[in-house]
Structure formats: C-alpha cells, structure tokens
Amino acid sequence: MVELTNDELKCISAFESLTGAMVRDCIISESEIVFIVSEGELGKAIGKKGANITRVRQSFGRQVLVFEDNEQMEKFVRSLFAPIAVTNINVHDKMDSKTIYVHVDERDRGSAIGKDGKRIKLARTLVQRKFNCDLRLATH
C-alpha cells in the first residue's frame, strides 16, 4: 500500500470535489500532478468537452494527467501509453523481481519515451507503486 502525503491528500480531495471521480492514487511533481481514477471513471474526470479537467488544471495551475486504474497489469500498462499502440507486453520473473517489457513499434519509440523521458519515467513510477515491478521499453 502506498502512503500519501498531506499535499497529495489535499489534491485528491480537491480533484474529487471538482470532478466527482474517485481517485485511487496521486503523484505530485514539480511540473504536473498525476491522478489514477477508479476504473470506469475516466470520462467523469474529464467531463463533457473536457470541462472538468480544464477546471482542475486552472485550479491547480499546472499540468494534470489522469489515467484509469485497472487491476489487470496489461490493461493498466496499455492505458499509461495510450494512444500509442502497444504491440506486446511480456512479464519476466527472476528470483524476487518482476520486469514488464512493453513492446512498441520503432516509429512510436520517441512518443513512448516522451520529452526528456517523462512518459517512461512516469509509467515506471506508477507500475512500481501499483504492481511492484520494473518496466522496460522494447521496440521492433
């Protein structure tokens, strides 16, 4: 179980009151706030024509990212990389550690990594928090 800081709890409370969506996890970085909402509540978090997410971004004064939670590792990982097409996901167990290999097309590699590696770092952090696994990107 991940322990949340007071700032994260305040952000979760504000997000839930602004959107009506149930938040499962939150990560605050210098440039953005990331929310994981309960399965099926992504639409509620975004709102009609993006009204809710726009209101949240204005309220927090920084970039806000929202992902949908899923207990199935593969679906959760795919949602982290959407709209990039993930061609395959392999899980390798070695002794006490698990590594997830996410395969994307060579053309999508830059998008999967993100500017300054932000997207892949965020995906690694979220997968580590939720499933206690490492995440690696592979191309073909």
Nearest to 34, CA basis, from 72, 4, 75, 78: 4
Quote the pTM value: 0.90
d(CA 46, CA 111): 22
What pLDDT does 86 receive?
Answer: 93
pLDDT tens-digit readout, 24-64: 999 998 889 999 999 999 999 999 999 999 999 999 999 99
What pLDDT does 28 receive?
Answer: 94
Contacts of 9 (CB under 8 A, 6+ apart): none
d(CA 100, CA 81): 13
| Domains of the chain with CATH codes | 6-68 (3.30.300.20), 73-139 (3.30.300.20)
What pLDDT does 30 receive?
Answer: 84
What pLDDT does 3 receive?
Answer: 84
Cα dihedral value 20, 22, 23, 24, nearest 10: 180
What pLDDT does 31 receive?
Answer: 86
Residue segments in the chain with a per-residue pLDDT below the cut of 70: 1
| Count of other CB atoms within 10 angstroms of residue 86 | 19
β-pairing, 32-37 vs 63-68, is: parallel
What pLDDT does 1 receive?
Answer: 61
